[in-house]
Chains A and B, each alone.
Chain A
């Protein structure tokens, strides 16, 4: 679903040159969740914005659903972002003048879907996240946990294939943080590929695979999972 091939990103020139990413290769299959874990300044947020076509790499290739982003026009990229990619940022980015339902329906409306159908899809996404009764509330009337769930609903509404999240449980308490991660996992069970960048090991532990990034390079990753029996079977 998402493939990064030897992606590098350099900001600035000469003495001010910063290598944000160096030769990063990463593959994320449909239905799987990958966490990118690293300290601040390690390049993990840059990786996410490049994967989401919000920024261009200095070198290397980015493929989303088999399409090379480099060969796409600005309009094509904008369409890909609206139709296939969902973003969840730490600060939620909800529009304050729109209700929860309108925020969720917005990407569909921008994509030319009729207002009524977009609204129906938005309401059903909110319902799936237990927010049906908050659909008419404005962002400032919602709690932090509710705002985050609206942001997730907006990221998964329609036929999205790729979910990109930057510290999605950021400022939430652990119960709400866990609810957010359960939602991302549920999206993966529907076939969505998810990339979550974080410095938080508890959050990363929800992923099928954890990739460790440092100074712009992927330095390590977790092994495929053994079954839970390995923990529950032992005598102490």
Chain B
């Protein structure tokens, strides 16, 4: 995640000391994304170097004791970042999809049992996140938002598994026509032989 822009966001509220920024950063992400504390101070140094923030303390002092404020350039950068969609157009190669595709071809493997093993794991993870949300009782807004993001992401994967399950069941009853040569195929890297 972008520590850089999260810090700019905190500074958009007004000038703050380094130590306070660190505390607010931790609280603001609901402690869901722990990060290396050193990252906050090194990022502040880089932001200052790039002219996006400035400090009014003397140069000898450490970042925790310096007071930082956002510059006009920093405010522009923050506004632009908030409105720039993250790159979701080309998904990373999905290991789970590959496992299911490979399972289809391994003789004697029950694909649906493979799917169920992954489904169970995902639901167990979702139970853990939901417990965090339940224990908080809806008080911490940042935590609720961050946990929801995880839950929706995992939920999407479970839905894909459900859809795959259904598609495979239908294919067993009614085998699809033979694959055409001009369609994308599994890469050799997956170790699948035809």
Contacts and interface: CB of A to CB of B under 8 A. Distances in A.
B8 to A, nearest CB: 20
**Size band of the B side of the interface?**
35 or more
Given A185-B134, A212-B120, A235-B36, A201 B128 contact: no
A232 interface: yes
A202 B152 CA distance: 8
Contacts of A199: 162
Given A39-B166, A201-B155, A210 B123 contact: yes
A225 B131 contact: yes
Contacts of A222: 120, 123-124, 127
A219 interface: yes
Specify which of B127, B130, B151, B154 lies most central, judged by the most chain A CB atoms within 10 Å of its CB: B127
Interface in B1-50: 31-36
Interface in B133-176: 134-135, 137-138, 148, 151-152, 154-155, 158-159, 162, 165-166
A219 B130 CA distance: 23
Contacts of A185: 134
A226 interface: yes
A37 interface: yes
Interface in A5-48: 37, 39
B78 interface: no
B52 to A, nearest CB: 24
Given A39-B162, A182-B134, A231-B128, A205 B123 contact: yes
Main secondary structure of the interface of B (DSSP, over half): helix
A234 B119 CA distance: 22
A162 interface: no
A39 B158 CA distance: 12
Interface string A204-215: 111100101010
B122 interface: yes
**Size band of the A side of the interface?**
20 to 34
B35 A205 contact: no
B97 interface: no
Contact of A232 (B119, B132, B162): B132
Contacts of B126: 201-202, 204-205
Given A202-B151, A202-B155, A236-B35, A223 B128 contact: no
B187 to A, nearest CB: 28
Interface of B: 31-36, 112, 116, 119-120, 122-132, 134-135, 137-138, 148, 151-152, 154-155, 158-159, 162, 165-166
23 contacts: A37-B123, A39-B166, A178-B138, A182-B134, A182-B138, A204-B123, A204-B126, A206-B134, A210-B120, A212-B116, A212-B120, A214-B112, A219-B116, A222-B127, A225-B124, A225-B131, A228-B128, A228-B132, A231-B125, A231-B132, A232-B31, A232-B132, A236-B35
